[in-house]
Amino acid sequence: MNFKIEIKSRILNEGFEDVRFLTEENSGKTIIVASFPYRLQEKNQKKGVNITPFARSDHYGEAVKRLKNVALFIREENSLKKKDIRIFCNSRLEEKLYAALSGLGFYGRNSLIITEKSGSRVILAGMIIPIRLEPDEALNNGTIPGALCGSCRACINNCPTLAIEAKGIINRDKCLQSLTTDHRILPEEIMEKWGNRLYGCSICQDCCPFNKFEQNTNDSVKGHIGDSVPFEFILNADDREMKEYFRGTALSMAWIDFDHLRRNTIISSVAENRVDLIETIEKFLNHEKIAYAAQWAVEKLKT
């Protein structure tokens, strides 16, 4: 049995789209990195505050769950303990760098990894195993942000806040994806360009030519919540109700503060001209964290 081929086959059978191998230089261990495509079926089917596609299901949790099946096989074949294998997904490790160095994809101008089959519409996940397997090679210039994008500047030109300041350089103070879970007080110029978004932003992916093809999807992913959530629910629910509503979804992650979601919904109400929500939003005018957003929204909706 060719162990590398067997591992790759098992990961692909778990619904991943591609798998590559990389040697960890200091330890000699093997880093296995894989791409997990996410679904794009819904397009504003409900009239609510929008969730970006990658967060409409718990793709992170699903990817980890499926990799655990492969990790069990590796452990049994090599008499390893559970602690010997580290599974990663949306971790502090340099997952995008692993993907580029292994040839799984290349860095786009927007700093995201672009893969052959699904562009940047993928979740990166993988594992580190204490076995040395033959590494794969990076794409030529694939580790240089934007080098394989040609003359295309679609992501730079379409970003509403001009957050992409150079190839692979994202200004997090302007990036709507980052700001949807940021604690800071958002400046008015950002709120003006917010649009309708509860969580996340995919504008730089929506316009990318590498994403303009039939999407491979994982339909049985757990924690599916859909493309949007009613404005009224977010603005009226307490923390307990929010926790129960989002349980098991991507919006139940520890770093997401429910006040972020309330703030984002308040700002989004302006883009949707939800004048019917003025009285509801006014309840937040004395809120410790998001009163500024409520004041801005009420003033905009009343003019």
Say which residues have a Cβ less than 8 Å from residue 64's Cβ, sequence separation at least 6. 87, 89, 125
Contact, 139 vs 103, CB < 8 A? yes
Alpha-carbon distance 275 to 195, whole Å? 15
Contact 171, 165 (CB under 8 A): yes
Q: Across residues 7-12, what is the average pLDDT?
A: 98
pLDDT at residue 52, as a whole number: 93
pLDDT digits (tens, 9 = 90+) for 196-250: 999 999 999 999 999 987 555 555 677 888 899 999 999 999 999 999 999 989 8
Q: Yes or no: say if 275 and 301 are a contact pair by the CB < 8 Å rule.
A: yes
Angle, alpha carbons 117-120-125 (nearest 5°): 90
How far is it, in rounded angstroms, from Cα 142 to Cα 153?
A: 17
| Residues listed for the chain | 303
**Secondary structure element (H or E) that encloses residue 89, with its range:** strand 86-89
> pLDDT confidence of 44, banded at 50, 70, 90?
low
Predicted local confidence at residue 223, as pLDDT: 80
pLDDT of residue 233: 97
Domain parsing of the chain, residue ranges: 3-41+55-129, 154-212+223-302
Q: ∠ CA(95), CA(172), CA(39), 5° rounding? A: 55
pLDDT 10s digits, 83-140 = 999 999 999 999 999 999 999 999 999 999 999 999 999 999 999 999 999 999 999 9
What would the two tokens of residue 147 be?
Answer: 């080098």
| In contact, 4 and 133? CB cutoff 8 Å | yes
Confidence (pLDDT) at 212: 83
Is residue 61 within 8 Å of 221, Cβ to Cβ? no
Question: Distance (Å, rounded) from C-alpha 215 to C-alpha 53?
Answer: 12
Contact 19, 11 (CB under 8 A): yes
Looking at residue 202, what is its pLDDT? 94
| pLDDT for the residue numbered 137 | 94
Helix 239-246 crosses helix 258-271 at what angle (to 10 degrees)? 90
Tokens at residue 198, please? 């509860």
59 against 43, higher pLDDT: 59
154 contacts 119 by C-beta, under 8 angstroms: no
Q: Please state, in angstroms and as integers, the Cα–Cα distance from residue 182 to each residue in 58, 228, 258, 297, following that order.
A: 20, 20, 12, 18
- When pLDDT is averaged across residues 264-272 and rounded to a whole number, the result is 98
Query: Which amino acid is it at 151?
Result: S
* Helix (H/G/I), strand (E/B), else coil: 222: coil
CA 223-68-216 angle, to 5 degrees, is 55
In sequence order, the β-bridge partners of residue 86 are 128
Handedness of CA 171, 183, 264, 92 (dihedral sign): positive
